[in-house]
Amino acid sequence: MKKLIVANWKLNPTTLKDAQKLAASIKRTAKNTAVLCPPAVYLSAIKYPNLGAQDCFWQERGAFTGQISPLQLKNLKVKYCIVGHSERRTVGETDGQINFKLRTLLEHKIIPILCVGYGTTVEQDDLEVTDVLRGQLEIDLQGVDAAPVVVAYEPVWAIGTGQNAMPEHAEKIAIFIKNRYNIKKVLYGGSVTNANAAQFLEQRNIDGLLVGGASLVPLYFNQIISI
């Protein structure tokens, strides 16, 4: 079964030339579905079979300075959009806003990659984690057809820290999300590398990965998408 491997480039690289060079160095593999999510300013100039955005607004058009709409993304042939990343929640994004974004993305047939996990710490047990996730998912998915939504479980303490969650923990959480919310695909994200990716992909209910830092290193990301 093909896995969905999503590269979140965040605010990198700093020139279009470097972004195009990075995209050109990523394999076009049939083994898994690889998605590149460059900064939005590069989306129209990057060539790769599957592109995603890192965020969007919930209105299609109008007086919304600085925003990017799902309709604009659709017109650029963008197929996926990350929503609710912890780095956006940290600067004030709410679950209510995430819910609006999901609705508009689905209207435009863009697959949302909904990130959850904000607020967890390495010490928390599975029950505490599921409590936090319940609080997020119940609002994020309110009135939404959850079936096309991809959920990325990302423990905040694992993002960009070099400390990944245990694959068995991620598997348990993936089962919880699928059983409770009619979600078909769950990804794991948080310090995924070429060295640990296989352990997550071996889990039955982990359908792919959301990769930050390692997606900026072609050698590492090419290995991950070829597993």
Active site residues: 85, 154
Number of CB atoms found within 10 A of residue 100's CB: 14
Stretch that binds ligand PEP, among 70-78, 124-132, 204-212, 218-226 (CB under 6 A): 204-212
Among 156, 212, 220, 221, binds ligand PEP (CB under 6 A): 212
CB of 200 to ligand PEP, least distance (A): 12
For ligand PEP, the binding residue among 7, 78, 83, 159 (CB under 6 A) is 159
Binding residue (CB under 6 A) for ligand PEP from 64, 90, 126, 160: 160
Binding residue for ligand PEP (CB under 6 A) from 137, 211, 224, 225?
211
Sign of CA dihedral 53, 54, 58, 62: negative
Choose which of 191, 206, 221, 225 interacts with ligand PEP (CB under 6 A).
191
| Least distance (Å) between residue 84 CB and ligand PEP | 11
CA angle at 27 for the pair 111 and 37, rounded to the nearest 5°:
35
Q: How far is the CB of 213 from ligand PEP (least distance, A)?
A: 3
Q: Which is nearer to ligand PEP, 9 or 58 (CB)?
A: 9
Please say which residue, 170 or 214, places its beta carbon nearer to ligand PEP: 214
Q: Look up tokens 């939005």; give the residue.
A: 40
Binding of residue 210 to ligand PEP (CB under 6 A) = yes
Of 52 and 212, which CB lies nearer to ligand PEP in the complex structure?
A: 212
The reply on whether position 192 binds ligand PEP by CB under 6 A is yes
- Burial class from Cβ neighbours inside 10 Å (0-12, 13-18, 19+) for residue 65 reads exposed
By the criterion CB under 6 A, which residues form the site for ligand PEP?
Answer: 8, 154, 159-160, 189-192, 210-214
